[in-house]
Amino acid sequence: MTAAVPPPDAVAGAAVRPETAVLVLLGDHVLDRGIAVSTGGVVAALGRLGIGEHATRTALNRMGRRGLLHTRRRGRQAFLGLTEQGTAVLRDGQRRLDGDVVDGDWDGRWTLLTFSVPESRRADRHALRTRLGWFGFGPLRSGLWVSTKAADVSATLAELDLLDHAEVFRAEAFMWTDPARVAAEAWDLPSIAAGYEGFLARWGNDASGHLDVLSRRVLLGAEWLLLIRHDPVLPPALLPERWPGTRAVELFRALRTSWANRAGDLAADALESVVDE
């Protein structure tokens, strides 16, 4: 049996990745605003979180190579704007930040994806498994992944040239098959729950109180993105009782909302901007 996918170590309170912090910062203060912001401002904003200039510039360069950012120059200054691809990625990130952690509309059906990838294409197989986790799939058996959603992964399969190596089905549990047991085998629910408990302990005690409100909101969003990355967002019937994700999302939303205006004011001062034409 394939091991369930655990959440990343970052959700236990490790330092946030610079690229994740950039995504949150730009998602909050650049996305859909028609502006580009100064590279120096982004470096300074992440510096408030203790992220060094070299690490931030490396992350920005990496994002540029991935086609997420483009650079505009005004005299000696460089300004960062979002590409079409970058806009799509950030919109997806904002959707996840605004989303629920419990699915209240499950119809009882599962999406089953089975695939067999040749050993000579191990890199593609690893990439597929990583992306399936992002889409909310979990490994039930070797080569068989399941999701409670009608997830369309055809674009991912096509991008990896794996459409001919996979089959997808929609089905319901039958006879002695217990959906809760399937969920417990496909996902490491205790580890996911522990991530939410850790989030509640840290943010409920306001451990980031030494930071300014812009930094706190970026850190909050970055940690939440990492935390929910491997949460399949299951229906209540498949979750243990008193699921801590419910309390965690309430706290996350309350803090994120309460800091929005003040963080926006600080960002306006910190991030010099120009029209992104």
Predicted pLDDT at 205: 81
Predicted pLDDT at 190: 95
* pLDDT tens by residue, 238-259: 999 999 999 999 999 999 999 9
Range from 36-45, 78-87, 156-165, 262-271 carrying the lowest mean pLDDT: 156-165
Residue partners of 32: CB distance under 8 A and separation at least 6: 87, 91
Predicted pLDDT at 207: 66
Q: How far apart are CA 45 and CA 51, in angstroms?
A: 9
Percentage, residues of the chain above pLDDT 90? 53
For every residue of 2-49, DSSP letters joined together read PPPBPPPGGGGTPPPPHHHHHHHHHHHHTTTTTEEEEHHHHHHHHHTT
Rg of the chain, C-alpha, whole Å:
20
**What is the average per-residue pLDDT within 126-155?**
86
Return the half-sphere exposure (C-beta side, CA atoms, 13 A cut-off) of residue 74. Answer: 14
Predicted pLDDT at 128: 79
Q: Looking at the predicted structure, is the pLDDT value of residue 261 above 70?
A: yes
Task: Catalogue all structural domains in the chain, each as residue range(s) with its CATH number.
Answer: 1-108+173-277 (1.10.10.10), 109-172 (3.30.70)
Predicted pLDDT at 74: 83
Q: Looking at the predicted structure, is the pLDDT value of residue 277 above 60?
A: yes
Predicted pLDDT at 122: 80
Predicted pLDDT at 166: 82
**What is the average per-residue pLDDT within 123-147?**
85
Give 15's pLDDT tier (boundaries 50, 70, 90): low
**What is the average per-residue pLDDT within 8-18?**
55
Q: How far apart are CA 233 and CA 254, in angstroms?
A: 20
Q: Looking at the predicted structure, is the pLDDT value of residue 79 above 50?
A: yes
Beta strands in the chain (DSSP E): 35-38, 69-74, 77-82, 109-115, 138-141, 144-147, 166-172, 273-275
Predicted pLDDT at 124: 81
Say if residues 193 and 240 touch (Cβ distance below 8 Å): yes
Q: Looking at the predicted structure, is the pLDDT value of residue 265 above 70?
A: yes
Q: How far apart are CA 93 and CA 85, in angstroms?
A: 12
Q: Looking at the predicted structure, is the pLDDT value of residue 33 above 60?
A: yes
Q: Looking at the predicted structure, is the pLDDT value of residue 276 above 50?
A: yes
Q: For the chain, give the mean pLDDT.
A: 87
Percentage, residues of the chain above pLDDT 70? 94
Q: Looking at the predicted structure, is the pLDDT value of residue 14 above 60?
A: no
Q: Looking at the predicted structure, is the pLDDT value of residue 8 above 60?
A: no
Structure tokens that stand for 104 in this block: 């209240």
Predicted pLDDT at 2: 39
